[in-house]
Homo-oligomer: A and B are copies of this chain.
Amino acid sequence: MLNYGIVGYGYWGPNLTRVFNQAAGSKVVAVADQLAANRAKVKGLYPAIDVYSEASELIADTRIDAVAIATPISTHYALATAALEAGKHVIVEKPLCASSDDAARLVDLAARRNLQILVDHTFVYTGAVRKMNEVVTANKLGRVLYYDSIRINLGLYQQDMNVIWDLVVHDLAILSSVMPRRPEAVSAIYADPLKTGVPGIAYVTLFYPDNVVAHMHASWLAPVKIRQVVLGGDKSMIVYDDLNPSEKIRIYDKGVELAPSPEQAYALKVEYRHGDMLAPQVESREALAVMADHANHCFDKNIAPITSGEVGMRIVRLLELADRSAQRNGEVLRVEAW
């Protein structure tokens, strides 16, 4: 039985508190929040949970095995460092932190202390993404050719992050599960047609070996909401529509291959195969509860979670590179470290 402390009881903290309290292998023993109103909410729902006004008090609580951090991104690095130094495993809301240098320090610190970091890229724990991972792992897609994503709607403009950090981060997490290879380079474009100073439209491309690309389109300025990923392989292709209530994943048994000799002079020797479409049943259990079980398992065995600190660090690295490329008008930047 792991004892958790939750830092931050604003938007996401209540969810973390609920799932770690309900999970089989854990309970929440304390929550820290600077606002008295938030602490009162905790006591109303969970009289048995202690509350602190300062995160440092919670981190000093010796009953606590793991600390979950649900505060603004600018505070992640200092809080996670303190928790790790106090000998606790750490869960951090995505993204891991605001710079890849900080991220590397956290990964290093955790390794030295023999502790685990889990970054809460919740998408990775959804039934849909786990199904995609399963299909890719079973080699049903064949060679993966491309990843293409659209995440658009009328979104809330935020001061402290642009649309890349808000939306593309989800694709980078999904990629860490279904296309975990290291991309060679990043190119990104943004647009700020409203001239707010915070780009609301972004196009990000990752270049992989063997001519494979991942492209992501994110926008806070679209009249319709779309959350769609296409993952194309040479044996079959997946369309993942996160807004479809009953058929999130569709696997098209469509293949493509290069024929040995083209019959038609003007057409290339590319041949398609058409087949059935399967929409497999996707597990509907709450992704956050799946994450909580995984965290409990990994912290208990002291093994790296699938959204480890290292995975979270790579995502921060790609976000940084995308930002830098966009500031340089789409210049292609190599992914040096990984």
Number of chain copies forming the complex? 4
Is A78 at the interface (CB under 8 A from chain B)? no
| Chain B neighbourhood of A189, CB < 8 A | 187, 205, 213, 215
Find chain B residues with CB under 8 A from A215 CB. 189, 203, 217
Residue of B nearest to A225 (CB): B246
The contact string, 1 if C-beta is below 8 Å from chain B, for chain A 186-199, is 01010111111110
Which single residue of chain B is at the shortest CB-CB distance from A214?
B191
Which of B219, B253, B268, B281 is close to A158, meaning CB atoms less than 8 Å apart? B268
CA distance A191 to B146 in the complex (A): 9
Which residues of B have CB within 8 Å of A157? 267-270
Which chain B positions have C-beta within 8 A of A332?
329-330
Known contacts A154-B254, A222-B232, A272-B154; A145/B277 CB under 8 A: no
Q: Which residues of B contact A225 (CB under 8 A)?
A: 246
**How many interface residues does chain A have, given as a range?**
35 or more
Q: Quick one: which of B158, B223, B281 contacts A267, CB cutoff 8 A?
A: B158
Verify B193–A210 contact, CB threshold 8 A: yes
Q: Is the CB of A234 within 8 A of B194?
A: yes
- Tell yes or no: A311 within 8 A of B by CB: no
A159 at interface (Cβ–Cβ under 8 A)? yes
Task: List which A39-53 residues lie within 8 A (CB) of chain B.
Answer: none
Q: Given B193, B198, B268, which contacts A198 in the complex, CB threshold below 8 Å?
A: B268
Is A37 an interface residue, CB under 8 A from the partner? no
Q: Does A148 contact B (CB under 8 A)?
A: yes
The residue among A148, A198, A275 with the most chain B CB atoms within 10 A of its own CB is A148
Kindly provide the distance from the CB of A226 to the nearest chain B CB, expressed in whole angstroms: 9
Known: A270-B194, A277-B279. A148 touches B217 (CB 8 A): yes
| B279 and A279 within 8 A (CB) | yes
CB-defined interface of A152-180 with B at 8 Å, one 1/0 digit per residue? Answer: 10101111100000000000000000000
A54 to chain B, nearest CB (A): 22
Interface assignment of A274: CB less than 8 Å from any CB of chain B: yes
Name the interface residues of A261-286: CB closer than 8 Å to any CB of B. Answer: 265-270, 272, 274-281
Chain A to chain B contacts (Cβ below 8 Å), 19 pairs: A145-B193, A146-B191, A148-B222, A152-B230, A159-B265, A159-B267, A159-B268, A187-B330, A195-B211, A196-B258, A196-B269, A198-B268, A200-B270, A201-B213, A223-B236, A275-B281, A276-B281, A279-B279, A330-B330
